[in-house]
Structure 1
Amino acid sequence: MSSLPEIFSPDGPLAQGIAGYRVRAQQVEMAERIAAAIHKHEVFIAEAGTGTGKTFAYLVPALRSGGKVIVSTGTKTLQDQLFNKDLPMVRAALKAPVRIALLKGRANYVCPYHLERSLADGRFLSREDAADARRIAVFAKTTQTGDKAECIEVNENSPVWNSATSTRDNCLGQDCPDYRDCFVMAARREAMAADLLVVNHHLFFADVMLRDEGMAELLPACNTVIFDEAHQLPEVATLFFGDSVSTAQFLDLARDARAEGLANARDCLDLPVLSKAMEKAARDLRLAVGLDAGRFAYGQLLEKPEFEPALNVLEQETAKFAALLETQAARAEGLEKCWQRATDLQQQLGQWQNPVNPGYVRWAEAYTHSLQLNSTPLDVAGIFRKQMGGHPRAWIFTSATLAVQGKFHHYCAELGLGEPETGCWQSPFDYGEQAVLYAPLGMPDPNAWNYTESVVDAAWPAVKAANGGAFFLCTSLKAMRRTHELLKARLEEEGLDLPLLVQGEGSKNDLLQRFRHLGNAILVGSQSFWEGVDVRGEALSLVVIDKIPFAPPDDPVLSARIEEMKKQGRNAFIEYQLPRAVINVKQGAGRLIRDESDKGVLMICDPRLISKPYGRRVWQSLPPMKRTRELSVVLDFFARR
């Protein structure tokens, strides 16, 4: 076996096997530190700036480790790229005899049983949905994996996927007549047999949660866990270590129970009646919090006069329905499963209403058609640390954004990692030459009524000088819509032919494809465009951030955490809110320079960057760009480009 420096050298296997490969000192150093951590079963945290080549830096030691490795990514898009492109490329270059597999959550795989039921019921609302269902049926007969990402004829957001896939609630398991052809089970068998398995954070934590029930499949056998995009972990862990129950689950249960009743219990005339009563109670609970989508603290819910009565009615109707289903359960596996689901949902509602754990905060999120009741831990550090215990294994955390001014205290505290080994590698790009950080003069207070107008006014000359190729990253949906409105008016006023795109006009991937292809477009987005976006060249040369992205203080979980930290005599702003905002700014800034030839301007409009003492912590955490407050410097920069 070659040593790591040999593998990464100018005439090593990577250079010979991968077109465009170039040696980077940071990459070799990072790979050596990761290999050492894997060997010693240690925790290691690595921040690697854009262009360091962190993917190869962890894949090479992972493929050479000899043990079972789980690589967990932040998104399914990155998961697919890793499995279909990066991993096979590195494996082939190293000639490593390593068996690899990809595993996603069950909602990503076609379920033959539920697909067949849905086709037989004809439960589709439109012609387009019925056509999608037929396309999925054809795909199900020809696919090897059943992974919906491969079914390109049907949009990933088509409502039909809900009827063509299973959930943990409605899967019949070994009692399913199609168990032998189950794509989920086939993917899991592959995962168990693989030496290196690619999952995503959601699936990883779903498995970790099963560990307490003795059901976890992935973790027990593995020697190394590598988290890419590890900055997302505190958020995902919070989601999974809590509990939630949604009105959508009651609607799904009612629908599935009616389908099972038609097939196996036509003489049970009360079944459709009681299922509809439970369905109505679930819809009424959603309406009890008002029409608008949003997040509500438990106290706010209690102030709504219709909320508690609606919650009690839903609990009563679910109990009645569960009692009826119990009488029919012996008639078919599907009916028995529905009875179990009804009992579970009744229990979950009860637990949410009468919590036993004091370290949790209760709140609800209203979506357009559903209401989700959540119970969230205020602190995930203890729970996460417990999950890392037991079998000795290496834990590697890597991302382009984990540190605040080169330190990892905040991140380690959030996940309970103690004081592990850490490494921080700057991007190899020449930011002093390639980029300018521009903080415009004369911006009003971010809470001013006309703040968004001022952002567009200040950014407009730069947009024209760059001839489009601009991202506007907004900290709220309201600001995003207003920014789009104002830019549209400007373009019409001045007769400029620059395409204008806005988040929500299509899927994220769709919008990015159009943005790249157009080459001179302006894209206005909020949260989902701050990270995981890779646009190279002049198609993106101006990134405008409207405000430092502090989480809204009225968010129920955040305000409960702040309250808790205050009780402990801690400074929640400095310890928690500011570090999170810095990491988010670093993510947004990371969209700008993606390779050695990129040039661009990062414009942060928020005056607090300069006027507040904490603003220094924000800009000192950014790459070493040339800094200016003068518009003329920006216009010169674009003119010279």
Structure 2
Amino acid sequence: MTGQDSRLARAAREALDDGGRLASQLETFAPRPAQQDLSAAIAVAFENRGTLIAEAGTGTGKTFAYLVPALLSGLKTIVSTGTRALQDQLYHRDLPRVRDALGVGLKAALLKGRANYLCHYRLNQARGEPRFHSREMAAQFQRIVAWGGRTKMGDLAEVEGLGEDSPLIPIVTSTVDNCLGSECPFFSDCFVVQARQRAQSADIVVVNHHLLLADLALKQEGFGEILPGAQAFVVDEAHQLPELASQFFGEAVSARPLVELARDAIAECKEVPGALASVQEPARVLEQATRALRAAMDDLPVRGTRSRAAELDAAEAALEALARALKDMAAVLEPLRSTSPGFEACMFRVGDYAAKLRRWRDIEGAAGEENGDEDMPPPPDPDERMPVSLPDDADSVRWYELTARGFRLSRTPLDVAGPLAEHRERSKAAWVFTSATLAVGGQFGHYAGKLGLAEPDTLLAPSPFDWQTQALCYLPKRMPEPSSRDYGQALVEAVRPVLEASGGRAFLLFASHRALREVAALLRESDCPWPLFVQGEAPRGLLLERFRASGNGVLLGAASFREGVDVAGNALSVVVIDKLPFAAPDDPVFEARLEAIRRGGGNPFRDEQLPQAVIALKQGAGRLIRSETDRGVLVLCDPRLLGRSYGKVFMDSLPPLPRSRDVADVQAFFAGDREQAGILPE
């Protein structure tokens, strides 16, 4: 079957064509051939229960391209997006518009992870607890209490002014570990249960990647009772999936859940008379041991392997103390577990964390008994909570990461292709993976290999933008090697005339925070006439808001600004990329992957480092042109693009921008005099 003879493909093309239902119903809709090709290919995948990888260039309109066949097919479809913000946009804006234009009455549902929904039990437990560090935090808590009495959905996104990183969220939401399930006294009013019930009866369910992967990994964060019934999956922003999957098919224990366990055990004592006398001290010791471990790891690099942590005696002693604290906590909770569902949940968490800690500490594969943990409760029943087969040590890496006040001890698989392929095969559903950045040099082999996709259908849907008139790629001359000490100064000198021509309105994207800080300092020392917005000096959202409002600002950002940032119009007219974004050498998971490729006879640079950097560069470059009316200059400073053989792979993966090495062409571009500049495509 082809896109031309498929019934659903023809219907999708007609709906998106000039004179079709979307054009007649949506005032701003404009037909795009690439969008129609993409929609037809997705329709064929739906009808054949096939697998499609589709790169859709910026401006293609991929959201409408997959919503049309999803709605016309009548198949139960799961749409997964990269972030909760994109989830909300898709569910509240895009999906209703397309559904109404097509005139179909399919039922849709929005489903988020449980950390997005108010938990009545946790809210009740938090009342009267001295957990609030400021008057503002206490006032926000009271607003949540008032909202909780009137909300119908329980989605915390409804609470005005509550940020995604608010410390109140873990206090008023549940986790897989502390949820009481059907034993909860508020179970009949549970917002998570209600959201899952709505999803069960819906034709289209909008989720995010975290929820999708948690469910595929069977960690009961998602909606395992719904996924088996889905007939089609659409994974948008699919380039994020391989990295996220490695997190969900691994395991970790971190500081915050340990501290929350200690505090939850204390809070549970309100329900059981006399329990506080025995629980209070081991809970205090557990919290203290958690904080002491973070302090003991201060002399370690921010990120490193398990073997690196083992070199520090203080850290090893603190790990042992934490293991003892968990053991003592288990001994106290054991006789209490039958007195309340809350204590039963705490007991489960102690066993789960202790088992993860044993596995992480066990460098040589020694048994738990040899670590002095013979009296610990057995780890949780794998069939009850987390039926995930973790890889052998040869196929995973144990590592740690430190934050300002916490730590995370992780065991991460090096390859998730196998389990992902297994789950896809079991689903018997259609799978569509789409993003603006999936191909490397026009090929999808790297991405397909990451997900274990055997001979998928593929499609490159080009952007509808007129690159010859809308954009220019400028590669400055005489740039030193990126490793040069004076590279930052050379970059400022090369970029300054570009900023003068554009009047600011620029993103400067850096491969490292060190380089970012250096260039920010150099610009400030040079009496920069444009307002500077520097990552790390304000929250990301606030920086973007101020940048847009400034009208002529220059924003300096690192990896997190390469994607998920949309600044259309005149506010952004220049994107500068300082160096080719090869992954940092201090990432223990990445280094372990490279070593595994080497052991398997592959070439780490060709097979992993290069394709990953190409995708990252495409993401950064994609910030520049976001609509048919945008105009801008992409400045690529790294001389390796022209001086090394692999530079061609990067250049061939970018949109077909005209290129120049003469800053006069940039000045002419912004003066609107392209003919005089003589800019030609390369």
Q: Output the TM-score relative to the length of structure 1.
A: 0.96
Alignment partner of 1:428 is 2:464: yes
Moved over 4 A (4+): 211-215
The one of 506, 525, 529 equivalent to 2:557 is 525
Q: CA deviation at 1:265?
A: 3.9
Q: Which amino acid aligns with 1:306?
A: A
d(CA) in 1 for partners of 2:667, 2:452: 46
Q: Which amino acid aligns with 2:404?
A: T
Asked if 2 retains the 8 angstrom alpha-carbon contact of 1:431 and 1:624, the reply is yes
Q: CA deviation at 1:581?
A: 0.5
Q: CA deviation at 1:215?
A: 7.8
d(CA) in 2 for partners of 1:116, 1:639: 63
Asked if 2 retains the 8 angstrom alpha-carbon contact of 1:265 and 1:328, the reply is no
d(CA) in 2 for partners of 1:593, 1:205: 31
Q: Which amino acid aligns with 1:70?
A: I
d(CA) in 1 for partners of 2:163, 2:11: 45
d(CA) in 2 for partners of 1:368, 1:514: 26
Asked if 2 retains the 8 angstrom alpha-carbon contact of 1:265 and 1:331, the reply is no
Q: Which amino acid aligns with 1:562?
A: L
Can you list the C-alpha shifts for 1:33-75, whole angstroms capped at 9, x where unaligned? Answer: 1101100000111111111111111110011111210000111
Q: CA deviation at 1:97?
A: 1.0
Identify if the C-alpha distance between structure 1 residues 213 and 262 changes in structure 2 by more than 3 Å, giving closer, same or farther.
closer
d(CA) in 2 for partners of 1:102, 1:25: 30
Q: CA deviation at 1:388?
A: 1.0
Q: CA deviation at 1:401?
A: 0.7
The one of 203, 225, 239 equivalent to 1:231 is 239
Structure 2: state its 5+ residue gaps.
1-7, 366-391, 674-682
d(CA) in 2 for partners of 1:420, 1:382: 16
Give the secondary-structure state (helix, strand or coil) at the position aligned to 1:155.
Answer: coil
Identify if the C-alpha distance between structure 1 residues 147 and 488 changes in structure 2 by more than 3 Å, giving closer, same or farther.
farther
Alignment partner of 1:405 is 2:441: yes
Q: Which amino acid aligns with 1:575?
A: D
Alignment partner of 1:591 is 2:623: yes
Tell me which moved more, 330-339 or 195-204: 330-339
Alignment partner of 1:473 is 2:473: no
Residue 315 (structure 2) aligns with: 307
Residue 638 (structure 2) aligns with: 606
Q: Which amino acid aligns with 1:173?
A: G
d(CA) in 2 for partners of 1:358, 1:536: 46
Give the secondary-structure state (helix, strand or coil) at the position aligned to 2:229.
Answer: coil
The one of 234, 251, 261 equivalent to 2:259 is 251
Asked if 1 retains the 8 angstrom alpha-carbon contact of 2:13 and 2:39, the reply is no
Give the secondary-structure state (helix, strand or coil) at the position aligned to 1:442.
Answer: coil
Give the secondary-structure state (helix, strand or coil) at the position aligned to 2:124.
Answer: helix
d(CA) in 2 for partners of 1:479, 1:102: 41
% identity of equivalent residues: 46
1:84-483 pair list within 5 angstroms: 84-210=92-218, 216-290=224-298, 294-354=302-362, 356-483=392-519
Give the secondary-structure state (helix, strand or coil) at the position aligned to 2:228.
Answer: coil
Identify if the C-alpha distance between structure 1 residues 601 and 452 changes in structure 2 by more than 3 Å, giving closer, same or farther.
same
Can you list the C-alpha shifts for 1:277-319, whole angstroms capped at 9, x where unaligned? Answer: 1111111211222167721112211111212221111111101
d(CA) in 2 for partners of 1:489, 1:266: 65
d(CA) in 1 for partners of 2:425, 2:652: 36
Asked if 1 retains the 8 angstrom alpha-carbon contact of 2:214 and 2:221, the reply is no
Tell me the number of residue pairs that the alignment of Structure 1 and Structure 2 aligns: 637
Give the secondary-structure state (helix, strand or coil) at the position aligned to 1:249.
Answer: helix
Asked if 2 retains the 8 angstrom alpha-carbon contact of 1:118 and 1:164, the reply is yes
Q: CA deviation at 1:481?
A: 2.4
d(CA) in 1 for partners of 2:270, 2:399: 37
RMSD, matched Cα? 1.8
Q: CA deviation at 1:213?
A: 12
Identify if the C-alpha distance between structure 1 residues 291 and 80 changes in structure 2 by more than 3 Å, giving closer, same or farther.
farther
Identify if the C-alpha distance between structure 1 residues 32 and 417 changes in structure 2 by more than 3 Å, giving closer, same or farther.
same
Residue 620 (structure 1) aligns with: 652
Residue 666 (structure 2) aligns with: 634
Tell me which moved more, 465-474 or 383-392: 383-392
The one of 39, 49, 62 equivalent to 1:31 is 39
Can you list the C-alpha shifts for 1:383-408, whole angstroms capped at 9, x where unaligned? Answer: 21111112411010000110011100
Can you list the C-alpha shifts for 1:97-126, whole angstroms capped at 9, x where unaligned? Answer: 110011111111111221222122132111
Q: Which amino acid aligns with 2:421?
A: R
Structure 1: state its 5+ residue gaps.
none
Asked if 2 retains the 8 angstrom alpha-carbon contact of 1:136 and 1:154, the reply is no
Asked if 1 retains the 8 angstrom alpha-carbon contact of 2:176 and 2:221, the reply is no
Can you list the C-alpha shifts for 1:349-377, whole angstroms capped at 9, x where unaligned? Answer: 11222365431111111111111111111
Asked if 1 retains the 8 angstrom alpha-carbon contact of 2:214 and 2:222, the reply is no
Residue 11 (structure 2) aligns with: 3
Asked if 2 retains the 8 angstrom alpha-carbon contact of 1:52 and 1:425, the reply is yes
Asked if 1 retains the 8 angstrom alpha-carbon contact of 2:289 and 2:325, the reply is yes
d(CA) in 1 for partners of 2:128, 2:621: 51
Q: Output the TM-score relative to the length of structure 2.
A: 0.90
d(CA) in 2 for partners of 1:558, 1:84: 37
